[in-house]
Amino acid sequence: MKFILFVFLLSILFCSKNLSAYEEISIQKTSNLKDYQDLLDVISASVTEENAADIIENHLYNINFSSSEISFEIDIDKLSKNLYQKGYKFNLFMINCSLKENFFEFNQNFKSCPNFKILKYNQEKFIYLNFKDKYFRLKEFNSIDDPYKLWINLLSKKLNSHQTYVDPKNYDKIIKFTGNNPKIISYENKLVKIETKSYFSKIHFQFLINFF
């Protein structure tokens, strides 16, 4: 009975209206961000090495410009599918962070977003992705390394279908990061068994859940 109630509550929260596919984003204006076209170019540059402004434009809604900020909603789910179908190499993971000024630089100190840190270990330097008190090693540091390319390559994308167990409290994280509602199969030992079809592998799910 508890499991039935649990599924029912989740269906009300997440399935009646799939708001998870959308992400609301507010970004500050800079001297290089003056109009709508600049906005499209900035978003395109933050998610792919290709010029995908036309595709991105089809998935932006409720755009508002003020003197200091721009806010909009972006359909992450449909945009991800369209970019994948076009064969673009992209990364929509935490797009709200990638749009921040100076995000693609080393040794930043964002509190609500990841930081690319260069740290020394045994006389060698490594690049870590840092978020709050957690660190994830990406690679050994090279002077030609570019945080933007590391970000794009962080989660390689291909369509996956698999089952895995997650803590119920992490269910909404999966929805936020993937834009999809995983199917709930069972609830046992305080874990939810889900089945999902998305662009994230089982390893990626664990990385997202445990790191962020």
Per residue in 116-134, pLDDT tens?
A: 999 999 999 999 999 999 9
Separation between Cα atoms, residue 47 and residue 155, nearest integer Å: 12
> What is residue 1's predicted lDDT score, i.e. its pLDDT?
44
Find out whether 172 and 194 touch, Cβ atoms under 8 Å.
no
Query: pLDDT value at position 10?
Result: 40
pLDDT, block means (10 residues), the chain with 212 residues: 39 40 87 88 93 95 91 92 90 92 94 96 95 94 96 84 90 81 91 89 86 89
Q: Quote the pLDDT of residue 128.
A: 97
* CA–CA distance, 90 with 188 (Å, rounded to integer): 36
Closest by CA to 90, choosing from 36, 132, 135, 44, is 44
What's the pLDDT score for residue 210? 87
Nearest to 90 by CA among 155, 139, 178: 155
Distances in Å between the Cα of 100 and the Cα atoms of 68, 94, 107 are: 14, 11, 14
What is this structure's pTM? 0.80
Beta strands in 2-114 (DSSP E): 22-28, 60-65, 69-75
DSSP 48: B
Looking at residue 19, the DSSP 8-state letter turns out to be G
152 and 49 Cβ atoms separated by less than 8 Å: yes
